[in-house]
Amino acid sequence: MSDPSVVPQGEPEATPAAPEVTPQDSQPAVADPQAGTGDQQHDPTVHDALQDAGIVRDPNEPQVIDTQNTRLDDGVNRCPRCGSTEIQLRPSTGMLVCLFCRHEWSEAQVESAISGDGNLSDLTGTIIASGATNIDPAVSGLITMKCSGCGSEVVVNTSKTMAMRCHWCRHVLTINEQVPNGAVPDAVLPFQITHEQAVQRIRDFAGKRMTFAHRRFVKEFTPENVVGVYLPYMVIDSNASADVWGKGEVLIRSYTRGSDENKQTYYDADVYQVQRHVDFTVDDLTIESSAERAHMNVLVNTNNIINTILPFDTKNAVQWNASYLIGFTSEKRDQDVSGVQPVLEDQLLSIARSRVEPSVTGYNRGVRWEHERLEVHGTRWVSMYLPVWLYSYYHEENGRGMVHYIAVNGRTGETMGSVPVSRGRLLAAALTAGTVIEGIVIAFLAVTA
């Protein structure tokens, strides 16, 4: 075999040459000796004062885009035709409907207002929509609203609901102000899959797995109990660059030594230093902004199935209006941008590795990446509620409990989940399959003898 410690010069003809690159982290930064020696002198104290006054923006500070729905500042969402506050979502159309005059309408999409017409390759710095700014732990989840119909005060617990009916005039009051407690996002993607459609998809999904499902689950399975829930996500645009380098191997020859049971196959390969650089952009990367959903414990529940029903058509998300949540439940965001940043960087590196994969196919024994470097030039963060139909079932066996979930994407209908299985049925099936295979092998040997 070739000595892996010896690296041949150059790369094989099947791949482009890979120059040796010294990681930037190992190169000391050298200050420009000519910097700041011009005739114009800048007083740093004046510049700091201008920043404090808001006249000059600190380039290191995130830029905040206001996404507040000012039309709903008074907390009352009125029908544009008749003025009624009896409004809720019609999932079959994804639009709001007035329960009095049956008029339907929708809030404006947020994509153009937040992203504008610029290219992602020009994105620099950190841009945060106002609904994604840092959560203030001192802000209570209890919000007191003044009814614009009669003037009475109504207290809304945002940890449980985003709408409350005035107990005097019966107006429906909704939380639309972006208070810094994580309850009000920038945008919402309305349900388009109805309850009946979700029930049917869950029934079909579980039905295909009933053969090995636990008998208690089969008996107690009630898909009609599925719940529509809006889950909090950060939707992120990013402009980034990445460098990866490691070793690639090209097979030279293979040969066999020994005989009978002592046969061994040997492989000779040339080893090359490989380095790749890639510039790329990512549009609407979707990451959970709930710590409970982001940190999954597979020993307790199967909520990791939520990620298997991605993607969502986030381009169709609309400006926040709490009326979209009436009749559904929701979970509020409890993670800031800084908490989601490590997950973003990990996913960006995964994307970078996949982007360079087509350029290393000439290394027919594969490439082992040993070092990676990611540089994020710009990001844009938007807080968004995404729709999921969720069916849960608690199963306990041998003193150990597990919550099983079946989830349906509230836009596309994509369905995934888990059901508790019967070990006895699985064992019986395995033994039966083994007996059949064993019989086929015996019959084959009898024919060929």
**Tell me: the pLDDT tens digits for 247-301?**
999 999 999 998 878 889 999 999 999 999 999 999 999 999 988 776 655 555 5
For residue 414, with 0-12 CB atoms within 10 Å meaning exposed, 13-18 middle and 19 or more buried, which class applies? middle
Secondary structure element (H or E) that encloses residue 254, with its range: strand 227-257
CA pair distance 191, 229, nearest whole angstrom: 9
pLDDT reading at 179 higher than 90 = no
Nearest of 230, 229, 289, 235 to residue 111 by alpha carbon? 235
pLDDT in tens, 62-117: 899 999 888 887 778 899 999 999 999 999 999 999 999 999 999 999 998 888 77
Predicted local distance difference test score (pLDDT) of residue 329: 92
Which residue has tokens 């499902």?
213
Predicted local distance difference test score (pLDDT) of residue 420: 86
Report CA-CA distances (Å) from 175 to 146, 307, 364.
11, 28, 58
Instruction: Return all residues near 333 (Cβ < 8 A) that are at least 6 apart.
Output: 132, 135, 182, 183, 185, 232, 234, 289, 290, 383
pLDDT reading at 198 higher than 80 = yes
45 pLDDT band, cuts 50/70/90, is low
Q: Rank 159-163, 278-282, 332-336, 422-426 by mean pLDDT and report only the highest.
A: 278-282
pLDDT in tens, 113-129: 888 778 999 999 999 99
- Top pLDDT among 259 and 189 is at 189
CA pair distance 361, 195, nearest whole angstrom: 47
Predicted local distance difference test score (pLDDT) of residue 226: 94
133 pLDDT band, cuts 50/70/90, is very high
Predicted local distance difference test score (pLDDT) of residue 76: 83
Predicted local distance difference test score (pLDDT) of residue 171: 80
Q: Please tell me the number of Cα atoms within 13 Å of 55 on its side-chain side.
A: 6
Nearest of 245, 309, 251, 302 to residue 278 by alpha carbon? 245
Predicted local distance difference test score (pLDDT) of residue 108: 93
CA pair distance 426, 435, nearest whole angstrom: 14
pLDDT reading at 174 higher than 80 = yes
Span 371-398, mean pLDDT? 93
Portion of the chain with pLDDT greater than 90, in percent: 50
pLDDT reading at 32 higher than 50 = no
- Top pLDDT among 203 and 24 is at 203
Residue 304 is encoded by which pair of tokens?
A: 């990791």
Predicted local distance difference test score (pLDDT) of residue 300: 55
Q: Lowest mean pLDDT: which of 21-30, 38-47, 126-135, 297-306?
A: 21-30
pLDDT reading at 18 higher than 50 = no
Predicted local distance difference test score (pLDDT) of residue 169: 84
CA pair distance 53, 55, nearest whole angstrom: 6
β partners of residue 405:
392
Report CA-CA distances (Å) from 252 to 268, 272, 442.
5, 13, 42
- Top pLDDT among 191 and 140 is at 191
pLDDT reading at 50 higher than 60 = no
CA pair distance 286, 233, nearest whole angstrom: 6
Going from N- to C-terminal start, the domains of the chain cover: 58-418
Portion of the chain with pLDDT greater than 70, in percent: 79
Say what the pTM is: 0.78
User: What's the distance, Cα to Cα, between the start and end of the chain in Å?
Assistant: 41
Predicted local distance difference test score (pLDDT) of residue 131: 93
CA pair distance 419, 392, nearest whole angstrom: 10
304 pLDDT band, cuts 50/70/90, is confident
